[in-house]
């Protein structure tokens, strides 16, 4: 039986790659505008990084990690990265970046791996564009990353964007809220889904964003975090909102948007593209003021987000916002006979020296078939070299759009073509 690609993964063939380059270019441009520099970290890390950096009670860690051992260290396992924040923080600490820079602004683009149930917009290998700001607790950076995401998505022409924001408090104010939530859900424990029954004491905030319909119904009337924020978290959130208002960002307050772990603090947000339906979350992020310390670094406030690139492409495709593939003015050299083939090869190479796309036959085609192929690849100019032309030290240049032809000395053919293409 033929070997197939693993479930939940995709092949991207040349006709799709232009779309990836297109979105990646916009991402790099927006990051430059907002002062983010690119990082690249390994696609696999010590499993412990994700246990501590994402949290042992999360679905990602409990159910979705690709973990393996290499056999040479019996007790060490590695995991394909399910996200990039933990790796970024590890790189920040390992390279002692905190000692060198006041504020660190990084972005990344790359594949992530989660053993999730594949469906439209949900893959086992998918790609994220994300950014992290390390070293600032100012609400300015919270608002800035939200503005950056929106500017990027809008620059593609996407509308119908929904921004949801929340504050999840901090280790000062969350414990009291947590107790209230436990007290609220405890009498309904038996009705909660098995996952939420487990979350009840470990991570009760996560019950609020459970997708199970019964859990959703059971959480109606649950205490809201906004009423339990400490002054610092309250003021921080107010300022984030003031800044978003100042930048004309429309957002919805969503008290159910949670990240239940201790090192997630204050702002949490999600950007949805509603026409995508069930998988409408295009980007999500938030503050993680406690994570650097959790990974044994100096106390460093931080915020980040990640955007799903496949979801973005789905959205752009849905709205017909992907560009037509660009056709370069290209050159094809038609050669007949062995001697002409050698001369053609010389011409092809010297035209390519000018970074002009240029091809010749590599399959022993007839002259008619070579011309047909030149047409198919949209060659703008065709150079024809037969034995007669070769004997006269000449070549024919055909302008494919008009079928006009001219004779050019072989000695100047590549300069001639270069000036025709480059104008």
Per CB under 6 A, residues contacting ligand AMP are 83, 114, 116, 122-123, 126, 128, 281-284, 306, 308, 310-311
Residue nearest to ligand AMP (CB): 308
Q: How far is the CB of 360 from ligand AMP (least distance, A)?
A: 42
Strands (DSSP E) found in 25-183: 37-38, 44-46, 67-68, 78-80, 104-113, 125-134, 161-167
Nearer to ligand AMP, 281 or 396 (CB): 281
Contact 130, 288 (CB under 8 A): no
Nearer to ligand AMP, 236 or 259 (CB): 259
Residue 315: what are its φ and ψ, rounded to 5°?
-65, -45
Long-range contacts of 411-417 (CB under 8 A, 24+ apart): 413/347, 413/383, 414/347, 414/350, 414/351, 414/353, 414/354, 417/331, 417/347, 417/351, 417/356, 417/381, 417/383
Largest pairwise CA distance in the chain: 97
d(CA 98, CA 415): 54
Q: How far is the CB of 255 from ligand AMP (least distance, A)?
A: 18
Q: How far is the CB of 104 from ligand AMP (least distance, A)?
A: 20
Q: How far is the CB of 75 from ligand AMP (least distance, A)?
A: 28
Tokens 């950014």: give the residue.
131
d(CA 245, CA 12): 40
Nearer to ligand AMP, 139 or 308 (CB): 308
Q: How far is the CB of 347 from ligand AMP (least distance, A)?
A: 47
Nearer to ligand AMP, 120 or 327 (CB): 120
Q: How far is the CB of 370 from ligand AMP (least distance, A)?
A: 44
Nearer to ligand AMP, 52 or 114 (CB): 114
Nearer to ligand AMP, 112 or 244 (CB): 112
d(CA 69, CA 120): 31
């Amino acid at each position: 039986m033929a070997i197939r690609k693993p479930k939940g993964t995709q092949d991207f063939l040349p006709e799709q790659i232009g779309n990836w380059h297109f979105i990646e270019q916009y991402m790099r441009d927006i990051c430059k505008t907002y002062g983010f520099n690119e990082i690249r970290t390994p696609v696999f890390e010590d499993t412990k990084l994700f246990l501590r950096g994402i949290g042992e009670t999360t679905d990602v860690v409990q159910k979705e990690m690709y973990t393996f051992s290499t056999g040479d260290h019996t007790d060490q396992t590695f995991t394909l990265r399910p996200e990039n924040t933990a790796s970024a923080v590890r790189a920040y600490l390992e390279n002692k970046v905190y000692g060198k820079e006041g504020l660190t602004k990084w972005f990344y683009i790359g594949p992530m791996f989660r053993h999730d149930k594949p469906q439209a917009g949900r893959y086992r290998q998918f790609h994220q564009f994300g950014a992290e700001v390390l070293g600032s607790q100012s609400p300015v950076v919270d608002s800035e990353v939200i503005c950056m995401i929106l500017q990027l998505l809008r620059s593609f022409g996407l509308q119908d964007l929904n921004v949801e924001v929340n504050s999840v408090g901090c280790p000062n104010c969350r414990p009291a809220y947590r107790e209230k939530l436990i007290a609220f859900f405890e009498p309904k424990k038996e009705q909660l889904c098995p996952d939420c029954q487990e979350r009840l004491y470990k991570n009760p905030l996560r019950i609020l964003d459970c997708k199970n319909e019964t859990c959703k119904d059971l959480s109606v009337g649950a205490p809201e975090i906004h009423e339990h924020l400490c002054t610092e978290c309250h003021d921080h959130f107010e300022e984030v909102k003031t800044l978003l208002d100042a930048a004309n960002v429309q957002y919805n307050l969503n008290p159910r948007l949670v990240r239940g772990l201790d090192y997630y603090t204050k702002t949490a947000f999600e950007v949805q593209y509603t026409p995508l339906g069930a998988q409408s979350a295009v980007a999500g992020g938030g503050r993680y003021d406690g994570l650097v310390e959790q990974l044994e670094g100096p106390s460093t406030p931080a915020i980040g987000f990640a955007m799903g690139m496949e979801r973005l492409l789905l959205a752009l495709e849905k709205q017909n916002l992907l560009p037509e593939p660009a056709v370069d003015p290209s050159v094809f050299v038609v050669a007949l006979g062995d001697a002409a083939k050698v001369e053609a090869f010389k011409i092809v190479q010297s035209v390519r020296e000018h970074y002009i796309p240029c091809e010749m036959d590599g399959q022993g085609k007839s002259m008619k078939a070579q011309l047909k192929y030149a047409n198919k690849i949209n060659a703008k100019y065709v150079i024809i070299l037969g034995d007669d032309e070769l004997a006269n030290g000449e070549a024919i240049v055909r302008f494919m759009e008009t079928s006009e032809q001219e004779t050019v000395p072989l000695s100047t053919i590549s300069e001639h073509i270069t000036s025709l293409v480059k104008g």
